[in-house]
Amino acid sequence: MYAMLQHMAIQIASTAALADLGALLRARDYRFITVTPATHRRVNRRPENEWADDLRGVLGWSRPFREGVLPPDIEALLDGAGLLADCRNGQIRGRRSLVRASTIGDRLYFHSAWPTSDDDAVFFGPDTYRYAAAMQRALASPLLGRPPSDIRRAVDIGCGAGPGAIELALQCPQATVYGADINPDALALAAVNAGINGAARLVTCRSNLLDGVDGSFDLVMSNPPFILDPDELPYRHGGGEHGAQLSIDIVRTALERLNPGGSLLLYTGIAIVEGEDRFLDAIRGMLDEACSAWAYEELDPDIFGGQLGCEGYENVERIAAVWLHAVKRS
């Protein structure tokens, strides 16, 4: 429908402009809740949504816009940073933003524009909200191996745009929180988002699992990719049987690097096959051996239903959103 001429690449000029843009959006009390890609597609296909007519349409819904829609100061920041792309619909020319801005409560997060089809896309969606909410509950849970005030060193594996790490850093201001990811664009956006939201002790680092970060941790958290993606897009593909391999690897790595009494917090999606949770079957032995306590629950019994029609999911009944909180034995 629309022809775009480039994709996002976060550079130094982009990060400075995004920091300024974040301040402008917060001053304007900008709010946007990001929906699933399927919902996004359906809403944008409505005839009245062909073009953006306001700030949320441009920076939230990733709709093309014509001259005069964006406030001049916001358009100038995006343009100067190279974060606007020319596009056209038929004979009508317009532009699109190469970033989106979403909110969790009062916090603002930049991430990739929709659709997220590039290898280096930085994803943000409903799973992000579930992840942040589950983390908040865990910090208040009696299961937490140590009080939040005693957490000194933490890491978010696969931090993406940084919402999990930043929300944790704001709850535990005494802690150094590492945001680890393999994607340089994700790390650049996480650093920008940390600055916008006042998470001064967030440290970004390029890392596959924890191979780029030394030492042990009081808390390890993650919201990894968990889909069996035929294109193996890094932000979607979990590998192994039905996409669970990366989640299994994170459990193993976290248990090796946690301090005694430290917690692992994991949000992921699991394929249920003939009523069985094979991810739980794969990690149960590790948890029983290394942990003094652990809890596992389904947060949502049925997510990503459209995935069941894809190759590799022929015998899958449903995909469930699950939450694991494990405490390493002292």
And the tokens for 125?
């969606």
Residue labelled with tokens 């982009």: 14
213 lies in the same domain as 324 = yes
CA distance 20 to 59: 15
Q: 306 and 166: one domain?
A: yes
User: Cα separation of 251 and 265, whole Å?
Assistant: 9
Whether 208 and 310 share a structural domain: yes
Which domain, by its residues, includes 61?
3-112
Residues in the chain: 330
- Could you tell me if 79 and 14 lie in one domain? yes
Distances (CA, A) of 317 to 184, 247, 299, 324: 36, 20, 17, 21
Tens-binned pLDDT, residue by residue, of the chain (330 aa) = 444 434 555 565 588 899 999 999 999 999 999 999 999 999 999 999 999 999 999 999 999 999 999 999 999 999 988 899 999 877 789 999 999 999 999 999 999 999 987 878 899 999 999 999 999 999 999 999 889 999 999 999 999 999 999 999 999 999 999 999 999 999 999 999 999 999 999 999 999 999 989 999 999 999 999 888 777 777 777 788 788 999 999 999 999 999 999 999 999 999 999 999 999 999 999 999 999 999 999 999 999 888 898 888 999 999 999 999 999 999
Q: What is the DSSP letter of 310?
A: S
Residue 117 lies in a domain: no
What's the DSSP call for residue 302? -
- Asked, for residue 72, whether it belongs to a domain, the answer is yes
User: What is the number of domains present in the chain?
Assistant: 2
Angle at alpha carbon of residue 271, lines to 232 and 256, rounded to 5°:
75
Q: Which residues of 45-79 are buried (b: 16+ CB within 10 A; e: fewer)?
A: eeeeeeebeebebbbbbbbbbeeebbeeebbebbe
CA 240 distance to own-chain centroid = 21
Quote the longest CA-to-CA distance of the chain: 67
pTM of the model: 0.93
Q: What is the rounded distance in angstroms from the CA atom of residue 221 to the CA atom of residue 242?
A: 21
Q: Of 54, 88, 112, which one is at a domain's C-terminal end?
A: 112
Could you tell me if 272 and 179 lie in one domain? yes
159 and 240 assigned to the same domain: yes
